[in-house]
Structure 1
Amino acid sequence: MHAFDVLGDPVRRRILELLADGEQASGAVTEVIRAEFGISQPAVSQHLKVLRDNGFATVRPDGARRLYAVDDTALREADAWLSRFRRFWTPHLDALGTEVARGRRQRRLAARDDDGSTG
Structure 2
Amino acid sequence: MLLRFPECVEVDAWTGVAWRVGQATVAHVFGGEDQLIRITFRAEPDEVMAFEHLGSPYFRASWGPNVVGLLLDDDTDWAELAELLTDSYCLQAPVRLASQVPRPA
Provide the TM-score with structure 1 as the length reference: 0.23
Pick the structure with more helix per residue.
Answer: 1
Pick the structure with more strand per residue.
Answer: 2
